[in-house]
Amino acid sequence: MTDKRFHKGIEALKKITLTRAERRMILKNIIGEEKIPSTSWYYSLSLVFKGWFLQNRFAYALASILLVILVGKGMAFAAEDALPGDLLYPVKTGIQERLQGISLETDEEKAQWEVQKAERRLEEAEELAAEGKLDASKRKAIEKRFEAHTSALLSITEDLQKDVSPEKAVDVLVDFAAKINAHSRVLETIKAYSGGGFQGDELRALGYTAKEKAQRNRDENQAVDEKLFKEKEATVRTLIEDGRNNLKNIDGSSEDSAVKENLILDTKKSLEDAEQSLNQAQYIHDLGDTSGAYSSLLDGEQSAKEAVILLRQGLKFGR
């Protein structure tokens, strides 16, 4: 009964959110009124409690309470939108992300968290580039963290493949490749119209590495059965349909930025690529090569997921 109440309480806490604008307002007010301890103070604090957290079943809940007590509720929420160079950025990466990582148990959860953190770093780079604030020091800081997330992800997926499920490892790596490729295009587009950003080719190389690793994981295992093929086919078809429906709901405006216009074009191209891969998969499947058809579905899934990110970021940087 106690466990049920605990989990219900955690789920309820997860639903308590602030809008992005509200968090930004809190962040602005806090930076103007309070001083934040140094990065090393937060890092030391996270190391002191880390060992204890790993042994305590209520660790994550207690850690969250501790964070609120130490830095204040408003500050903890506002830190979610902090960027490199902001006073609250050490809270975001040094405490919040560390605590969230400590709470994870399975290799799949840990791998997905590394993917999420890597995407966070790219989104931070996009925001700074769009604001003309992505200088050399901030870029270097982001790159260092991004490389660490990527290295951790590739290591975890090795364990995930061997000890849990090759298919789950493949899914995580395809998702990662999709995020890398999509955000590389976003950064290239921002750079083209604002003069700041990462080199897209540098990021895409990582996307290729992840995709190749996913393909190797697939090839090293037994042939794909019909059930797995059908499940993936349905997933890709749904992603494409959702993407096209989302595009239909976009209202064009004469005030749309060049960034938005170009990213929407990229979205359409990615959906076309996804549909082409889906058709190819069906053709190869009809020839009797289920494994080859499944590989084409993975290409389609990646393209469809890229479309989701491109549209989302296009709307974000649309004006």
Q: Is-contact 119 160, C-beta < 8 A?
A: no
Q: Is-contact 139 198, C-beta < 8 A?
A: yes
Over residues 256-283, the mean pLDDT reads 92
Q: Which residues of 77-93 are buried (b: 16+ CB within 10 A; e: fewer)?
A: bbbbbbbbebbbbbbbb
The structure tokens listed for 132 are 């003309």
Residue 203 above 60 pLDDT? no
Calpha distance 25→205 (Å, rounded):
37
Over residues 263-267, the mean pLDDT reads 92
For residue 90, the model assigns a pLDDT of 84
- Domains identified in the chain, total number: 3
Confidence of residue 212 (pLDDT cuts 50, 70, 90): low
Confidence of residue 8 (pLDDT cuts 50, 70, 90): very low
Calpha distance 111→163 (Å, rounded):
13
DSSP state of 82: -
205 and 118, same structural domain? Answer: yes
For residue 300, the model assigns a pLDDT of 95
Least confident of 23-32, 91-100, 107-116, 277-286: 23-32
* Cα dihedral 148, 150, 154, 159 in deg (nearest 10): 60
Confidence of residue 253 (pLDDT cuts 50, 70, 90): low
For residue 31, the model assigns a pLDDT of 38
Residue 261 above 70 pLDDT? yes
Q: Is-contact 20 81, C-beta < 8 A?
A: yes
Q: Return the half-sphere exposure (C-beta side, CA atoms, 13 A cut-off) of residue 186.
A: 30
Q: What is the DSSP string of 132-160?
A: T---HHHHHHHHHHHHHHHHHHHHHHHHI
112 and 91, same structural domain? Answer: no
Calpha distance 38→91 (Å, rounded):
10
> At which of 221, 236, 267 does a domain end?
221
Residue 1 above 50 pLDDT? no
> At which of 103, 122, 147 does a domain end?
103
255 and 195, same structural domain? Answer: no
Residue 64 above 70 pLDDT? no
Q: Which domain holds residue 58?
A: 1-103
For residue 215, the model assigns a pLDDT of 57
For residue 213, the model assigns a pLDDT of 56
> At which of 174, 190, 221 does a domain end?
221
Q: Is-contact 239 305, C-beta < 8 A?
A: yes
Over residues 11-40, the mean pLDDT reads 42
Q: Is-contact 92 80, C-beta < 8 A?
A: yes
Q: Which residue has the tokens 């490389």?
A: 147
Degrees to nearest 5, angle at CA 139 with 110 and 265: 80
Confidence of residue 205 (pLDDT cuts 50, 70, 90): low
Coil/strand/helix, residue 188: helix
Q: 101-128, pLDDT tens digit by residue?
A: 888 889 999 999 999 999 999 999 888 8
79 and 117, same structural domain? Answer: no
Q: Is-contact 53 59, C-beta < 8 A?
A: yes
Q: What percent of the chain has a predicted confidence (pLDDT) above 90?
A: 27
Over residues 289-304, the mean pLDDT reads 92
Beta strands in 237-312 (DSSP E): none
Residue 252 above 80 pLDDT? no
60 and 123, same structural domain? Answer: no
261 and 159, same structural domain? Answer: no
129 and 99, same structural domain? Answer: no
User: Which of 78, 71, 87, 82 is closest to 25 using CA atoms?
Assistant: 78
Over residues 278-305, the mean pLDDT reads 93
